[in-house]
Homo-oligomer: A and B are copies of this chain.
Amino acid sequence: MTAVSRIHNTSLHDKVISAEQAAAMFTDNMVVASSGFTKAGDSKAVLNAFAHRVQEEPMQITLVTGASLGHGTDGLLAKSGALSLRFPFQVDSLLRESINKGDVFFIDQHLGETAELLKNGHFPKIDIAIIEATLIEQDGSIVPTTSVGNSAVFAQLAGKVIIEINTRVPLALAGVHDIFMTGSYRSHAIIPVTSPEMRIGSTSIAIDPEKIAGIVITDIVDSPAEIALPDASTKAIAAHLLTFFNQEVEAGRLTQSLLPLQAGIGKVANAVLHGFIESDFEALTMYSEVLQDSTFDLFDSGKLLFASGSSITVSGEYYERIFADFDRYKDKIRIRPQDVTNAAEVIRRLGIIAINTAIECDIYGNVNSSHIGGSNMMNGIGGSGDFARNSYLSVFVTQSAGKGNTLSRIVPMVTHVDHTEHDVDIIVTEQGLADLRGLAPRQRAKAIIENCAHPDFRQALTIYFEEACERGGHTPHVLEKAFSWHTNLAEFGTMKPVDVPANAVDF
């Protein structure tokens, strides 16, 4: 089968061009949109060609995506100086460095909101969208690949569309997608999902064929997800959480099939999902963003009935295995636009159990998911806020300490707030689990310090909390010491009490 046979609409055959020809359409200051969600289904040929072009011919674009692109794209674009503004998410070390230097402007955005903001005209109009495709249907509509992300709304809003047909993607992916358009004001649609498996849309992205400016054939595989196997610490977190779920079942609040699960990316969330395999829970479902290796392990174990997400982001080994026999999974999966997977109304209606990773939590349960030391961007908030805000249960997991126990991930006050204490129900570290439901701030502080803090930091947290309570307040703080742990870390390399000059801030 030839590559062009994936273009079922033969009138489009003469639109096939090279990646370099496609990249030549970009001009300085353009707003470019690309498919791609957590490294899955991104533009790997055209954006790469553009990054190379810019090295000879400097220019800058605004780049909007579903979520992060692969390392070959976001990193190379940043290195080439090709980006002026990037949103809504990234995970690349080179791009991150440019963002933190102030060389690239970055908008850190709830992943469920980008489509809405674009439709509302709150951002400039998209000039060109690049969408990776498995194939083009007879009617010209696009069957996406391993992600949907914001591709459907990009196809709708962009002036021109370039399609990257990826011949490495198995044709079996066709049919797994569920494309639903949420509409615009004043005729915004109800998103009618009432169970994770419910199909509400079509299997391909409708597009005006006149807008197709070029079709590029590629065979570059998605950047693989990095594998992080469970270790003693992440297994302990998983065990605490499973014990808690068992208690909830005993209390009659949940059943053995729990409620639909969402799990963020990362080794802790991965360990938690693996923990279910050995558990008594059964007939589980997922209504998540990213379907990872652990999702397929859960399918294979028979524990998981269905999974909805916006991408399949797996390791190289799993990619080969899953797509060699995709029909085995196809009926158990739907890949949807991220304004459907992350929709507040669906998350509330289904009663999601949301499990996300914190960079740090404070003693009152505020969570920082995005910043290091208050100033430096790590990856972004991603979809964690979409899920935490409207879930049945909002769980945040983190290891209690890091960097050889020089830093505590439970701190007096987080240096950046992504999730306010109103939206955080459960905090779990390898030390234990704090159930914050129904607790006032002073009670939350005790529960978090006692259950979650690392023993090396527990006393210092208690001293801070007691001093704060002596001053009074609903959420007692000692403002001049609230960040002393972080400034100590920056200055002395540890949050622990150190021999410091007498005039320095103590704790």
Contact = CB atoms under 8 A, between A and B. Distances in A.
Interface of A: 85, 99-102, 105-110, 113, 116-117, 120-124, 185-186, 188-192, 194, 251-253, 259, 343-345, 348-351, 366, 371, 373-377, 381, 385, 389-390, 392, 415-420, 422, 425, 437-440, 442-443, 468-469, 471-477, 479-480, 482-483, 486-487, 490, 503, 505
B185 A123 contact: no
Contacts of A366: 417
A495 to B, nearest CB: 13
A27 to B, nearest CB: 20
Given A469-B102, A474-B108, A374 B438 contact: no
A375 B418 contact: no
B120 A475 contact: no
A297 B194 CA distance: 41
A323 to B, nearest CB: 33
Nearest to A474: B377
A472 B101 contact: yes
A117 B85 CA distance: 40
In the complex, the count of this chain's copies comes to 2
A101 B317 CA distance: 58
B483 A349 contact: no
Contacts of A124: 438
Contacts of A191: 345
A154 to B, nearest CB: 16
Nearest to A184: B351
A344 B348 contact: yes
B482 A374 contact: yes
Nearest to A480: B487
Nearest to A116: B348
Contact of A100 (B186, B192, B373, B472): B472
B422 A381 contact: yes
A375 B471 contact: yes
Contact of A190 (B194, B253, B425): B194
A477 B375 contact: yes
Contact of A106 (B194, B253, B417, B440): B440
